[in-house]
């Protein structure tokens, strides 16, 4: 068992009351860290890339690397496009061999978001590929010291979520419930009342973006309420770069690339393992 669709991963997660962690990645060591962590903990895992990461690595290379790295493993692995910005960019990932795509039309009107998402679903389903949609803008947590955290955080309307799921035929839904991307300046206040209503009205696997910095008890509560996939990105990049800077400062003038990169890769693996455990997906492969 290795590469599977998110439909298979999320259905099993929903029945098993855990979430599958989805880690964004953009290079070899980063991808190895995720795969090694998942294999060690016997966890299903989703390896994702946003458009910028697909462009950075090349989509064909990204998919080939995931397949090569997981070919001999006994864990189910998803290959997912995160926040596809247009119909064209999203559909292009089917050509690369992604098994799951997200089209993010949340910055458009609901009508336009529905119209484009429905077209993506048609093409993706013809190829057996899972589609994640988004309702309510999941913004950026303010990064600056003066930033007000809630400036960019939208809350989805459960009735709009219901209409969106019915009219598009998507397989999983990312809905804004007070979560955001990046580093939260204060503890995020997730709207569990909204999450409960969205789950009741849609009854499809729900996805939580902006997992970095959401307290473990909130992640676990969200899982009990229908969240089957949780996205982590910033926490891994931060751990990688902080460790890399430390290592380089300790070993100035040492040009052994593997020696300099290894602690950062180990740190990312450690972080991935912590988040797998938070998602309760360990030993679920």
CB 82, min distance to Zn ion, A: 6
Q: Which stretch binds Zn ion (CB under 5 A): 19-27, 65-73, 92-100, 202-210?
A: 202-210
d(CA 94, CA 128) in angstroms, rounded, equals 10
CB 100, min distance to Zn ion, A: 14
Q: Which stretch binds Zn ion (CB under 5 A): 26-34, 146-154, 201-209, 266-274?
A: 201-209
Among 55, 72, 82, 151, the one annotated catalytic: 82
Please say if 82 is a catalytic residue. yes
Of 134 and 162, the one with the shorter C-beta distance to Zn ion is 134
Cβ-closest residue to Zn ion? 209
229 binds Zn ion (CB under 5 A): no
CB 125, min distance to Zn ion, A: 22
d(CA 277, CA 249) in angstroms, rounded, equals 32
Of 70 and 178, the one with the shorter C-beta distance to Zn ion is 178
8 Å CB contact between 183 and 213: yes
Of 80 and 209, the one with the shorter C-beta distance to Zn ion is 209
Of 42 and 237, the one with the shorter C-beta distance to Zn ion is 237
d(CA 266, CA 247) in angstroms, rounded, equals 12
CB 209, min distance to Zn ion, A: 3
Of 209 and 284, the one with the shorter C-beta distance to Zn ion is 209
d(CA 239, CA 268) in angstroms, rounded, equals 6
Q: Which of residues 119-178 bind Zn ion (CB under 5 A)?
A: none
Q: Which stretch binds Zn ion (CB under 5 A): 6-14, 39-47, 209-217, 238-246?
A: 209-217
CB 175, min distance to Zn ion, A: 12
The two three-digit tokens of residue 145, written as one number: 């010291």
**Which residue of 80, 209, 269, 275 would you call a contact of Zn ion, by CB under 5 A?**
209
275 binds Zn ion (CB under 5 A): no
By rule CB under 5 A, what count of residues binds Zn ion?
1
8 Å CB contact between 264 and 240: yes
Which positions are annotated as active-site residues? 82
- The site for Zn ion (CB under 5 A) is made up of 209
């Amino acid at each position: 068992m290795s590469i599977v669709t998110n439909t298979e991963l999320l259905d099993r997660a929903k029945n098993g009351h855990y979430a599958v962690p989805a880690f964004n990645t953009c290079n070899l060591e980063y991808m190895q860290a995720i795969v090694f962590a998942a294999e060690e903990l016997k966890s299903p895992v989703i390896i994702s890339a946003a458009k910028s990461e697909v462009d950075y690595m090349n989509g064909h290379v990204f998919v080939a690397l995931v397949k090569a790295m997981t070919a001999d493993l006994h864990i189910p692995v998803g290959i997912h496009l995160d926040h596809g910005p247009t119909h064209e960019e999203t559909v292009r990932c089917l050509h690369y061999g992604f098994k799951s795509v997200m089209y993010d039309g949340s910055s458009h009107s609901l009508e336009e978001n529905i119209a484009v998402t429905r077209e993506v679903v048609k093409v993706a389903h013809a190829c057996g590929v899972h589609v994640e949609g988004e309702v309510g803008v999941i913004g950026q947590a303010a990064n600056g010291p003066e930033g007000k955290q809630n400036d960019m955080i939208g809350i989805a309307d459960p009735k709009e979520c219901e209409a969106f799921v019915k009219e598009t035929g998507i397989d999983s839904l990312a809905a804004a419930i007070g979560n955001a991307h990046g580093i939260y300046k204060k503890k995020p206040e997730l709207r569990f009342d909204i999450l409960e209503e969205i789950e009741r009205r849609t009854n499809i696997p729900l996805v939580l973006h902006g997992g970095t910095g959401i307290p473990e008890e909130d992640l676990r509560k969200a899982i009990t309420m229908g969240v089957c996939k949780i996205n982590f990105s910033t926490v891994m990049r931060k751990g990688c770069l902080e460790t890399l800077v430390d290592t380089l400062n300790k070993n100035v003038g040492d040009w052994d690339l593997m020696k300099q990169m290894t602690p950062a890769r180990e740190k990312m693996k450690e972080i991935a393992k912590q988040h797998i455990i938070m998602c309760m997906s360990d030993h679920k492969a």
